[in-house]
Amino acid sequence: MGEKTKGLIKAAIAVILILIFVLSSFYTVSEQQNAVVTQFGKIVRTDTAGMYFKIPLLQTVHKVDITTHGTGIGYTISADGQNIPDTTDGVMITSDFNLLNIDFYLEYRVSDPVAYLFNSKEPELILRNIAMASIRSVVSNYTVDDAMTTGKGQIQADVKEEMIEELTEQNIGLSVVNISIQDSEPPTQEIIQAFKAVETAKQGADTARNNALQYQNQQIPAAEASADRIIQTAEANKAARIAEAEGQVARFNEVFEEYKRYPLITKKRLFLETMETLLPYAKVIITDGTTETMLPLDSFVSMGVDNLGDMQDYSTEAAE
């Protein structure tokens, strides 16, 4: 091989090395990435989207995906896209000591590329553990009914808040975008049936309570109306009795005034008026006091009165 050929080979190698050196000195960062540049293990800078230069062999570029990622907690996703319950992570205990299989979907992203790369070895695993601890802590504050129905929204908010506080303290470079409940149900068929029975009983109790309230609403106005009628009748009787008594007092006072002025005449008049009232209802028996047989005479006024025997006593008292 001639000197000329050797020179060409050396020149080609040099060109190739220069090309490799130049190409390895430039790198691009996409919109979905951040890049952390290190030199001898020390952080030099953090780059966003664009093209940059680095010192070959001396500086290293670590690209980090900053898009939002998602993972299931309490279930896994099979190859065909089906959700498979995970009884190890999905079963929780509620404040009323019931078991509940509750599934969450966690969305997160890298918020600090430097912390994500260098503050922990497995930040995703730490994130998952924080999520599990927060979920168990929050769910234990709610009853099983709330966790399955109306309390889902508040549970999601509480879990997110607790995770944000814990991630801030751990500083692993990850942040929570959102966490939502996918499903919540009792863990076994037996418990599901028991919950259905409880719900049926609750619905029956609600129906009975509503019927009782309806009956109460029907009866109370009727009772109040009846009470009002009784009170009005009593008031009317009271007024009538008072008026009657006042009339009798007035008549007595008039008679008494007449008696004070004409006692004998008034006494005779009262006697005659009394007899006029009593005699039509009495049988009069006349005797001379010596005959052994007393013949009853018919009343002066023929009246069909049932209890005439009782009137004889009144007649005797009036005569005396």
Q: Is the pLDDT of residue 229 over 80?
A: yes
What is the pairing mode between strands 83-85 and 75-77?
antiparallel
Q: For 170-212, what is each residue's pLDDT tens digit?
A: 999 999 999 999 888 877 666 667 667 777 888 888 889 999 9
Q: Is the pTM of this model over 0.75?
A: no
Within 8 A by CB and 6+ apart from 210, the residues are none
Domain locations along the chain: 3-65, 69-187, 195-261, 267-319
Strands (E) in 168-255, as ranges, are 174-185
For domain 69-187, which CATH number applies: 2.40.30.70, 3.40.50.2300, 3.30.479.30, 3.40.190.10?
Answer: 3.30.479.30
CB 116 within 8 A of CB 64: yes
- Lay out the sheet containing 42-47: strands in order across: 42-47, 33-39, 59-65
Split at pLDDT 50, 70, 90, the class of 310 is: very low
Q: For 95-147, what is each residue's pLDDT tens digit?
A: 988 888 889 999 999 999 999 999 999 999 999 999 999 999 999 999 988 88
The amino acid sitting at 158 is D
Higher pLDDT, 299 or 214: 214
